[in-house]
Amino acid sequence: MSLDADVAVRFIAKASFLWHQRFALAPGVMKPGANDIEWLVDRSGLPQDLTGKSVLDVGTTNGGAAFICEARGASRVVVSDIASPERFGFAALSDTGRLQREFVHGSIYELPELLGGETFDIVLFWGVLYHLRHPLLGLDSLRRLARDLVYVETAVSDATLPELDGVAVVRCTSTPWAAGTRRTFSCRTAEPSWLG
């Protein structure tokens, strides 16, 4: 669902929560966050057509990736974050009718239980891995949540490195959290190399 541009401009002007992601809240009206989520979605290779797919976006912040997945035809989109839905304005965005996905409040470690064993065709795990105290435990949870494709994006180095086989991405931004080299990749749960 698209907001009117003037409603979106007023919403942004009044909002006091943290804008992490940048994406179009209405045609021509970009949210003011530093993380260009539309660029990341395209760079990750996420299919344009997600018709009929179920998607879980872990660490959703402002919900930008979830919105894009829904716009690409996903039939079920669930978002989660360790932060409350108020912290990044998810609740306020839902009130506008712009974001209507189900929000699950919890850490990656507890998500399989919180979601009652549900699995998803696509799981997005962008910008979360490097936050974790127990990254391997986080990946175990991810495996339990995924039934086909997992998309991961993570910091891999504090220094800026060149492209590696076209998959390493360098964030050209002045924000300290994004400086250095970040990498996107995807894997299928059926691949033998996927966590044994």
Chain residues that interact with ligand SAM, rule: CB under 6 A: 20-21, 35, 37, 58-59, 61, 81-83, 107-108, 126-128, 131-132
3 state DSSP class of 175: coil
Q: Minimum CB separation from ligand SAM for residue 82, in Å?
A: 4
Residue 5 or 72: the one with the smaller Cβ distance to ligand SAM is 72
Q: Is residue 170 helix, strand or coil?
A: strand
Tell me how far, at minimum, the Cβ of 100 lies from ligand SAM, in Å.
18
Question: 93 phi and psi, to 5 degrees?
Answer: -65, -35
Task: Between 35 and 181, name the residue whose CB sits nearer to ligand SAM.
Answer: 35
User: Least distance from C-beta 39 to ligand SAM, angstroms?
Assistant: 10
Closer CB to ligand SAM, residue 10 or residue 137?
A: 137
Q: How far is the CB of 73 from ligand SAM (least distance, A)?
A: 21
**Min CB(177)–ligand SAM separation in Å:** 7
Q: What is the C-alpha radius of gyration for the chain, rounded to an integer number of angstroms?
A: 16
Q: Which is nearer to ligand SAM, 5 or 119 (CB)?
A: 119
In the complex with ligand SAM, which residue's Cβ is closer, 75 or 84?
Answer: 84
User: Cα 148 vs. chain centroid, distance in angstroms?
Assistant: 17
Cα distance between residue 23 and residue 181, in whole Å: 22
Q: Which amino acid is at 18?
A: L
Instruction: For residue 139, give the nearest of 91, 196, 79 by alpha carbon.
Output: 196
φ, ψ of residue 145 to 5 degrees: the values are -90, -20
Task: Judge residue 59's burial from the number of C-beta atoms within 10 Å of its C-beta, 0-12 exposed, 13-18 middle, 19 or more buried.
Answer: buried
Q: What are φ and ψ of residue 2, in 5° steps?
A: -105, 140
